[in-house]
Amino acid sequence: MTTKQAPTPLQKMGLDSPMALALHLPSRYEDETELLTIEEAVSHGRYGAVQTQGLVVRNQVLFRPRRQMIVTIEDQAETLQLRFLNFYPSQQKQMAVGAHLRVRGDIRDGFQGNEMVHPTVRAVFPDTPLPTSLTPVYPASAGISQTIIRKAVTQALRDPSLKESLAEFLPKKLMAQLLPSNDWPHLQAAITYLHQPPADANTQALLERTHPAWRRVQFEELLAQQISLKRAHALRRERNAPSFGKPDQKESSIEAGLLKALPFKLTGAQNRVWSEIGDDLSHSFPMNRLLQGDVGSGKTVVAALAAARAMDHGYQAAVMAPTEILAEQHYLKMKEWFEPLGINIAWLSGSLKAKAKRLAQESIESGTAQLIIGTHALIQENVSFAKLGLAVIDEQHRFGVRQRLEIQQRVGSETFYCHQLMMSATPIPRTLAMTYYADLDVSVIDELPPGRKPISTKVVKASRRDEVISGLQSWLEKGLQAYWVCPLIEESEVLQLQTAVESFEQLTLALPGFKVGLVHGRLKADEKAAVMAAFKANQIQLLVATTVIEVGVDVPNAALMVIEHAERFGYAQIHQLRGRVGRGSADSVCILMYAEPLSMAAKERLQTLREISDGFVIAERDLSLRGPGELLGAKQSGDAMLRFVDLQRDAWLIELAQQAADRLLADHGDIVERHLERWLGSRAEFLKA
Ligand code: ADP
Ligand code: MG
């Protein structure tokens, strides 16, 4: 058959080969290995599902009040009602009088005595044997039945090709050294066990995925990942990038000029990370470094130093940020620092007029632009760099892995790579860094610039809005400025705008004598810039904003922030937002206003945020709630890397897999290839980013 057919529901779920089916592991199990008489079922079935069977003696469709089917079955001693509120004609037929049914469900009191509502039903013969293994329940997309998946999996497990695809690669000796009390089954045995665990299996360990059979599979997956990360690491060292050593003529360098012009001294932490980065830049293979530092820790100046170093060597440097406002902040700051040194800076964003855009593109392409600042436009628009030596990517988790690969392609050469510096205020917990980013070097700024005051965070009911506003008034009367943040309303940008406009109008009325400004995502870039500039110049005292100011905005005199509907924000968002205040010398305050009713989760979140100001601790909480994908932007890569591993639960396995990966790479090159192919296939590419 060569005609193209529409994909079956199984194929749509990606279950298109024996191997794919074998790796489609159950999410839980049902115990159908035990059969009770109806009498026993009735007395045990109030505390959990039970299985029994009997002959159908009556099948009625009633209307009271809704259409429903009541089926009565009986065995030697007892009868039982089965109630179906939804049913198909095929089920009516299956459960006709005279059929023999095996049913599984909870027992409850019905109108006419004991009943099961929507039990699982199978037509059987009185002597149909019971299964000897637990019945797997699989993850399934809507409209695909467990029966279909179970059949397909059972068939796949018998497929001779699995012997090869699931062959045991791991050398016995290696495993014995790593795991002295190794009780892990071989891979194929582990997979079979997980699909068809015997009746006496430790179901709790199976559910919690801590059973040795699970461990075996998780280890395989992590091993593949660690191997490919390590290979990416080695591969990067074979690539060519321009080497940027410390400038020879130190005094007249751009770098020295920048350092001299700065109105402050670098902190110890900034000096340390700058020397780590400087060291990377001096190598002739591309840097791939993440600069982590809490909001306000001063990452920008470190990026500027790296850019200066590249420019000192006659190369271009680019800075890319995820939002227009943030990119613009960088642009203004870099202009302030670099223009007096005679550097030619280009600005590129999607909202530029056609002519300005073309001019920017030309200067980037010809190389007259030495420093290029912009948004996604740097990779989306038709840009090719004359001589890009360094790409700085701010708030890297906002970009997808693909986009980070993309910037490399803009360099225009397959044999020549630029150095990459990623920056993030969202700390990445160690377990994550080890698994997702083994090929990423990490520098941490763990010290805030001197003179910063801690931010005190308050949690206030929305019903006390008037009090908050009068507090705001006395704040402004002291000559200080403030932010008023309106929440993101994901369902509706219009609604979001509307609430922001309402708050703006209300606050304008409530605070005569002060200028209130409004900034939101719908404004044009130059309008936004005008509002931000006026706020920075203190022509605006209170800035009402949607979350467009989430990252990077820097106005030291604004030390109060009110966040409306704080319960709708996530940990990281609030932490980043409040990092906008606490940058000047005034005591800083962040007021989290919430509307009731408050969910347990939101309550806990606000409380944590009130008590904890350490971004690292907050990120850990965030990780346990949201999972790694969102934190890293891995979701945007389209494929979660790890299917069976939970980074928190299985952290110890990661270290084991790392050791095994080292040993395999050193001594068993042939195994490495087969292992990678089996587990990652095309996904391995993402690990290079
Ligand atoms: P972030 O790490 O959040 O990007 P920024 O780079 O925007 O932080 O820096 C926050 C503020 O701190 C800026 O106003 C910056 O000029 C200032 N700053 C940075 N480094 C120092 C320092 N060593 N001493 C004093 N102020 C600093
Ligand atoms: Mg920043």
Minimum-distance ligand to the CA of 337?
1
Q: What pLDDT score does 446 carry? A: 87
pLDDT exceeds cutoff 50 at 689: no
**To test the ligand 1 pocket, which listed residue (258, 270, 301) has its Cβ within 8 A of the most ligand atoms?**
301
What one-character-per-residue DSSP string does 436-467 give? H-TT-EEEEE-SPPTTPPPEEEEEEEGGGHHH
What one-character-per-residue DSSP string does 14-58 give? T--SHHHHHT---SEEE--S--B-HHHHHHHTTSS-EEEEEEEEE
Q: Which of 484, 475, 478 is nearest to 516 (CA)?
A: 484
pLDDT single digits (tens) 31-74: 889 999 999 999 988 888 999 999 999 999 998 778 999 999 99
User: Does ligand 1 have an atom closer than 6 angstroms to the CB of 267?
Assistant: yes
Low-confidence winner among 433-437, 490-494, 628-632 (lowest mean pLDDT):
628-632
User: Does ligand 1 have an atom closer than 6 angstroms to the CB of 534?
Assistant: no
What one-character-per-residue DSSP string does 407-424 give? HHHTT--SSB--EEEEEE
The residue whose CA is least distant from atom 16 of ligand 1 is 298
pLDDT exceeds cutoff 90 at 1: no
In percent, the amount of the chain with pLDDT more than 70 equals 88
Q: What does the pLDDT average to over 589-608?
A: 89
Q: Which amino acid is at 273?
A: V
Beta bridge partners of 347: 373
102 CA → ligand 2 middle, Å:
64
Q: Which of 499, 510, 485, 509 is nearest to 562 (CA)?
A: 485
Q: What pLDDT score does 92 carry? A: 93
The residue that leads in pLDDT, 376 or 81, is 81
- H-helix or E-strand containing 100? strand 100-105
Tokens of 4: 């193209």
Query: Which pLDDT band, with edges at 50, 70 and 90, does 435 fall under?
Result: low
Contact at 8 Å (CB) between 227 and 676? yes
Q: State how far the Cα of 275 lies from the Cα of 361, in Å rounded to an integer.
A: 32
State the closest ligand 1 atom to the C-alpha of 329, by its place in the atom list counted from 1: 7
Look over the chain and give the mean of its residue pLDDT values, rounded to a whole number. Answer: 85
Minimum-distance ligand to the CA of 262?
1
State the closest ligand 1 atom to the C-alpha of 266, by its place in the atom list counted from 1: 23
392 CA → ligand 1 middle, Å:
17
Query: Which pLDDT band, with edges at 50, 70 and 90, does 572 fall under?
Result: confident
Beginning with the edge strand found earlier in the chain, give each strand of the sheet holding 50-63 in spatial order: 108-110, 113-117, 79-84, 67-74, 50-63, 100-105, 120-123
Q: What does the pLDDT average to over 512-516?
A: 95
The residue whose CA is least distant from atom 17 of ligand 1 is 298
User: Does ligand 1 have an atom closer than 6 angstroms to the CB of 298?
Assistant: yes
User: Does ligand 1 have an atom closer than 6 angstroms to the CB of 264?
Assistant: yes
Parse the chain into domains and list their residue ranges. 34-130, 250-445, 455-612
pLDDT single digits (tens) 486-506: 886 655 667 767 788 999 999
Query: Which pLDDT band, with edges at 50, 70 and 90, does 440 fall under?
Result: confident
Q: Which residues fall within 8 angstroms of residue 659, CB to CB, at 6 or more apart?
A: 178
Q: What pLDDT score does 76 carry? A: 92
Q: State how far the Cα of 653 lies from the Cα of 606, in Å rounded to an integer.
A: 33
The fold of 250-445 is: Rossmann fold (3.40.50)
pLDDT single digits (tens) 191-244: 999 999 998 999 889 989 999 999 999 999 888 888 878 887 888 899 899 999
User: Does ligand 1 have an atom closer than 6 angstroms to the CB of 299?
Assistant: yes
Contact at 8 Å (CB) between 105 and 118? yes
pLDDT exceeds cutoff 50 at 630: no
446 CA → ligand 2 middle, Å:
15
Query: Which pLDDT band, with edges at 50, 70 and 90, does 617 fall under?
Result: confident
User: Does ligand 1 have an atom closer than 6 angstroms to the CB of 424?
Assistant: no
In percent, the amount of the chain with pLDDT more than 90 equals 46
User: Does ligand 1 have an atom closer than 6 angstroms to the CB of 296?
Assistant: yes
Query: Which pLDDT band, with edges at 50, 70 and 90, does 637 fall under?
Result: very low
Contact at 8 Å (CB) between 360 and 347? yes
Tokens of 541: 């005292």
pLDDT exceeds cutoff 70 at 4: no
Q: What pLDDT score does 138 carry? A: 92
Q: What does the pLDDT average to over 387-406?
A: 77
Q: State how far the Cα of 653 lies from the Cα of 506, in Å rounded to an integer.
A: 55
pLDDT exceeds cutoff 90 at 403: no
Domains 34-130 and 250-445 share a fold: no
Cis status of the peptide bond prior to 487, with omega within 30 of 0: no
Query: Which pLDDT band, with edges at 50, 70 and 90, does 323 fall under?
Result: confident
443 CA → ligand 2 middle, Å:
15
Q: Which of 341, 340, 314 is nearest to 252 (CA)?
A: 341
φ/ψ of 543, rounded to 5, equals: -110, 115
State the closest ligand 1 atom to the C-alpha of 583, by its place in the atom list counted from 1: 11
Q: State how far the Cα of 685 lies from the Cα of 689, in Å rounded to an integer.
A: 8
34-130 in CATH: which number? 2.40.50.140
pLDDT single digits (tens) 106-141: 999 887 789 999 999 999 998 999 988 999 999 888
Minimum-distance ligand to the CA of 580?
1
Question: Pseudo-torsion of CA 131, 132, 134, 137, nearest 10°?
Answer: -40
Check residue 485 and report its DSSP letter.
E
Q: What does the pLDDT average to over 584-613?
A: 87
Q: What pLDDT score does 5 carry? A: 77
Query: Which pLDDT band, with edges at 50, 70 and 90, does 540 fall under?
Result: very high
297 CA → ligand 1 middle, Å:
6
Q: What pLDDT score does 400 carry? A: 61
Q: What does the pLDDT average to over 343-367?
A: 93
The residue that leads in pLDDT, 651 or 155, is 155
Tokens of 348: 């590129």
Instruction: Give the three-state DSSP class for 572.
Output: helix
Which conformational region is residue 244 in: left (phi greater than 0), alpha (psi within -120 to 50 degrees), or beta?
Answer: beta
Residues 152-157: contacts with CB within 8 Å, 24+ apart?
A: 152/10, 152/15, 152/21, 153/21, 153/22, 153/24, 153/195, 154/195, 155/21, 156/17, 156/18, 156/19, 156/21, 156/22, 157/18, 157/21, 157/22, 157/191, 157/192, 157/195, 157/196
412 CA → ligand 1 middle, Å:
33
Architecture of domain 455-612: 3-Layer(aba) Sandwich (3.40)
Q: State how far the Cα of 354 lies from the Cα of 588, in Å rounded to an integer.
A: 42
Q: What pLDDT score does 688 carry? A: 46
pLDDT exceeds cutoff 60 at 30: yes
Contact at 8 Å (CB) between 391 and 271? no
301 CA → ligand 2 middle, Å:
9
Q: State how far the Cα of 54 lies from the Cα of 577, in Å rounded to an integer.
A: 63
